[in-house]
Amino acid sequence: MHAAAESLKDKVALVTGGSRGLGRAMVLAFAEVGAKVIIASRKLDACESLATEVTDRFGVEALAVAANVGVWDDCDALVDAAYQRFGRVDVLVNNAGMSLLYPSLDQVTEALYDKVLAVNLKGPFRLSALVGTKMAAGAGGSIINISSVEAVSPGPNAVPYGAAKAGLEALTTGFLRAFGPSVRVNTIRCGAFRTDISKAWGDLSAIDERAKLRMPLGRIGEPEDIVGTALYLASDASAYCTGTTIRLDGGGSR
């Protein structure tokens, strides 16, 4: 095990949207290097299933919590559950997100807009405010915000989502100034990844073919492709890294 990854042994990592996709990949990666994990998503059964897998495979403690991060009270309850169980959180990954489909911009409803902003921006604000305050008062820690290339170049089918992710990147700057020097806050700006969300994109085989022609790396991302970056930002390897946005898009947004 690399010494930097070893620095995560016995640390506590909270991952929202942690039961599938990129969140699941990060939960497994943290557990593999010995971190205790808190798996949060709206579906408790999915969180519990992954928690059991984590404990069976890696022998680390795992806590499953049902939480809709778009709801303020759920964020508070999630943080309470984490600190009641472990007494601390060393790594917070604001990964939960959603981008709802709409037929045209003039048909975006207030309910759709509010839901997208709540999950992608309001939840990360509340969780970072609560956990970051506790981190700063204790031994410090790392907050990792999972953003999207839509934050800087949103398509017409993802304008509310892009606005929310742009706000999330602003939170990175605000919170690092609020909670430094002991709390580091960084962003991973993701491109196209093959997750459950990608099923809504249409024919993935056609998307793969376009990626071969247009992407410098010739493919879209797989969930495991986020692991190295997440481990770096969570661990002591990034001890002098804060306020950074790492583009993880295969070179596609250049």
Q: 128-165 burial, b for 16+ CB within 10 Å, e for fewer?
A: bbbbbebbbeeeebbbbbbbbbbbeebeeebbbbbbbb
161 catalytic residue (yes or no)? yes
Domain ranges of the chain: 3-240
165 catalytic residue (yes or no)? yes
Mean pLDDT, contiguous 10-residue spans, the chain (254 residues): 77 97 97 98 97 98 98 98 98 95 94 97 98 98 96 93 97 98 97 68 57 69 93 97 94 69
Which candidate in 142, 147, 148, 235 is catalytic?
148
Q: 52-85 burial, b for 16+ CB within 10 Å, e for fewer?
A: eebeeebebbbbbbbbbbbbeebbeebbebbeee
What pLDDT is recorded for position 198? Answer: 47
Which candidate in 147, 161, 232, 238 is catalytic?
161
What pLDDT is recorded for position 221? Answer: 82
Which candidate in 99, 165, 235, 238 is catalytic?
165
What pLDDT is recorded for position 1? Answer: 53
What pLDDT is recorded for position 197? Answer: 60
**For residue 181, is the peptide bond before it cis, meaning its omega torsion is within 30 degrees of 0?**
yes
3-240 architecture in CATH? 3-Layer(aba) Sandwich (3.40)
19 catalytic residue (yes or no)? no
What pLDDT is recorded for position 254? Answer: 54
